[in-house]
Amino acid sequence: MSDYETQQVIRGKRIGLPGDGYIPVLNNGFVKYLDHMGGDEDVIEAARTSTGRGFVSWEPYQRCEKCELTGSLSSVPVASLHASPCDHQWKAFPRGDNGLLEYLYVNRHMTPFEMCVGKFLVKAPIIFFRQLHRHRAASYNEMSGRYMQLPDDFYMPRPEDVKGKHATNKQGSGEKLEDWVVKTFLEDMSWGQQEAYSDYKQALDKGVAPELARMNLPVSINSVCVVQMNLRMLLHMLGLRDDGHAQGLTQEVAQAFAQFAKAIWPRTYALYEEHTKYAVTLSRSEAEEMKALLKGDKYMPREPGWKLGDAGMLSEKFLGKFK
Ligand SMILES: Cc1cc2nc3c(=O)[nH]c(=O)nc-3n(C[C@H](O)[C@H](O)[C@H](O)COP(=O)(O)OP(=O)(O)OC[C@H]3O[C@@H](n4cnc5c(N)ncnc54)[C@H](O)[C@@H]3O)c2cc1C
Ligand SMILES: [Zn+2]
């Protein structure tokens, strides 16, 4: 571990991050906290730039609309006991600045969330990075097989993670497989990894250029990447990757990012859970179906055959989300 990384681990411990800033993932990968900039307060600070005011408090408060004096909601601000030329016009903020934070998130005023940034070191298989790298508004630097010998270090699924094809989700895993299928799959996978690595090593020993020698290594080989994302990008990525539609291994790594995000930006993360992760959005047809349901009317699909509006899809959407 470099001195820099050691310092960041100390920092991770000091700010009380899960795993002291180091979360093991998969068989031998990890997500490690390196650094971050800004907390939930910085989102408010950035948003209030438009009015020249800053973050005040997460606690309830009131502010005079005329002279900007602020104080707790329950008591008249001490300063106002002194002679003041202002006949204060108080505006109450019963939720403190939580109200503005939620307003920004719900109404998709997302640029203030870009003022917060996290930097992480990730070790995971290349198949994971192929997916992570699709998130374009992020910065990455990755270990290079052109410059160094890649370590003999591969992702190996746990037996319980080896499942059959999903019945409905074409890209997912579903049914439990027979033990012998799991066992032989894992043995074959391990054998293939060893063969590929041995060929790679032999090619390097014979003097083949590293950029060519690596060509036949599988996407299960582990790589290391430093990842920097602003909070907006991070939550967008989590919405897609810490989700049941994503590949199992991808979800596991994303959940480590989520744990750090939750610890560093607890109030914003709570909004993400409330309004994105556990929220259900309705299509126009579904909203019409819901309206009919609530009014006790019979639901007539506007366009028969419109998939999301078909009777039953609505309940599937809700029950699927909360199963
Ligand atoms: C479950 C799952 C399955 C997937 N399957 C496949 C697959 O089979 N094949 C495949 O190729 N990909 C696949 N993807 C990747 C997917 O298509 C996206 O590329 C990826 O999720 C990145 O998300 P994003 O498009 O929101 O872009 P991000 O890079 O995360 O960008 C964030 C946001 O910025 C904006 N943005 C960024 N770039 C542009 C741009 N050029 N133009 C306009 N707006 C932009 C958009 O609003 C975007 O949502 C899959 C993703 C998931 C989660
Ligand atoms: Zn006043």
pLDDT in tens, 127-147: 999 999 999 999 999 999 999
Task: Please answer whether residues 157 and 177 qualify as being in contact, where contact means their C-beta atoms are separated by less than 8 angstroms.
Answer: no
CA distance 156 to 237: 24
Of the pLDDT bands very low, low, confident and very high (cuts 50, 70, 90), residue 224 is: very high
Same domain for 274 and 179?
no
- 176 beta partners: 163
Neighbours of 166 (CB within 10 A): 12
Please report which helix (H) or strand (E) contains residue 295, including its range.
helix 284-295
State the pLDDT at residue 248. Answer: 94
Residue 173 lies in a domain: yes
State the pLDDT at residue 113. Answer: 98
Is residue 23 over pLDDT 80?
Answer: yes
State the pLDDT at residue 262. Answer: 98
Task: Please answer whether residues 266 and 41 qualify as being in contact, where contact means their C-beta atoms are separated by less than 8 angstroms.
Answer: no
Measuring from atom 15 of ligand 1, which residue has the nearest CA?
A: 134
- Tell me which of 218, 234, 255 is where a domain ends: 218
Q: Which of 114, 128, 136 to probe ligand 1 with, by most ligand atoms within 8 A of CB?
A: 136
Sole residue written with tokens 């590293």: 210
Residue type present at position 101? L
Task: Please answer whether residues 119 and 35 qualify as being in contact, where contact means their C-beta atoms are separated by less than 8 angstroms.
Answer: yes
Task: Please answer whether residues 154 and 193 qualify as being in contact, where contact means their C-beta atoms are separated by less than 8 angstroms.
Answer: yes
Same domain for 43 and 189?
no
Task: Please answer whether residues 263 and 17 qualify as being in contact, where contact means their C-beta atoms are separated by less than 8 angstroms.
Answer: yes
Task: List C-alpha distances in Å: 106 to 33, 92, 95, 174, 275.
Answer: 28, 21, 16, 34, 7
pTM: 0.90
Measuring from atom 39 of ligand 1, which residue has the nearest CA?
A: 136
Angle between helices 98-106 and 40-47 (to 10 degrees): 80
State the pLDDT at residue 317. Answer: 76
CA 68 to centroid of ligand 1, rounded, Å:
44
End-to-end CA distance of the chain: 42
Of the pLDDT bands very low, low, confident and very high (cuts 50, 70, 90), residue 194 is: very high
Same domain for 44 and 102?
yes
Residue 33 lies in a domain: yes
- Tell me which of 179, 197, 218 is where a domain ends: 218
| Interacting residues of 264 by C-beta distance below 8 A, sequence separation 6+ | 15, 17, 36, 39, 116, 118
Residues with CB under 6 A from ligand 1: 134-137, 171, 236, 240, 245-246
Please report which helix (H) or strand (E) contains residue 285, including its range.
helix 284-295
* Secondary structure (3-state) at 44: helix
Structure tokens at 216: 């036949």
Structure tokens at 250: 């991808």
Task: List C-alpha distances in Å: 3 to 6, 7, 223.
Answer: 5, 6, 21
| Interacting residues of 47 by C-beta distance below 8 A, sequence separation 6+ | 100, 104, 109, 112
Structure tokens at 253: 């790594």
State the pLDDT at residue 322. Answer: 62
Residue 92 lies in a domain: no
Residue 79 lies in a domain: no
Of the pLDDT bands very low, low, confident and very high (cuts 50, 70, 90), residue 72 is: confident
Provide mean pLDDT across the span 212-228: 97
Residue 69 lies in a domain: no
Provide the mean pLDDT of the chain: 89
Provide mean pLDDT across the span 232-250: 96
Of the pLDDT bands very low, low, confident and very high (cuts 50, 70, 90), residue 77 is: low
Count of structural domains, the chain:
3
Is residue 215 over pLDDT 80?
Answer: yes
Between β-strands 117-125 and 29-37, what pairing exists: parallel, antiparallel or unpaired? antiparallel
Q: What percent of the chain has pLDDT over 90?
A: 69
Same domain for 291 and 308?
yes
CA 94 to centroid of ligand 2, rounded, Å:
18
Same domain for 201 and 268?
no
Which ligand is in closest contact with the Cα of 85?
2
Same domain for 269 and 126?
yes
Ligand 1 atom at shortest distance from the alpha carbon of 137 = 29
Residue 62 lies in a domain: no
State the pLDDT at residue 139. Answer: 98
- Tell me which of 203, 218, 233 is where a domain ends: 218
Is residue 301 over pLDDT 80?
Answer: no
Same domain for 129 and 115?
yes
Neighbours of 101 (CB within 10 A): 25
Same domain for 274 and 225?
yes
More confidently predicted of 70 and 43: 43
Q: What is the 3-state secondary structure (H, E, C) of 67-96?
A: CCCEEECCCCCHHHHCCCCCCCCEEEECCC
Ligand 1 atom at shortest distance from the alpha carbon of 241 = 53
State the pLDDT at residue 76. Answer: 62
Is residue 211 over pLDDT 70?
Answer: yes
Residue 90 lies in a domain: no
Is residue 309 over pLDDT 60?
Answer: no
Same domain for 288 and 272?
no
Residues in the chain: 323
Is residue 10 over pLDDT 80?
Answer: no
Same domain for 29 and 111?
yes
Same domain for 293 and 189?
no
State the pLDDT at residue 308. Answer: 47
Catalytic residue list contains 214: no
| Interacting residues of 167 by C-beta distance below 8 A, sequence separation 6+ | 174, 175
Q: Which domain holds residue 36?
A: 1-55+97-155+220-279
Same domain for 191 and 313?
no
Residue 136 lies in a domain: yes
Of the pLDDT bands very low, low, confident and very high (cuts 50, 70, 90), residue 319 is: confident
Q: What is the CATH number of the domain that holds 26?
A: 3.30.1360.170
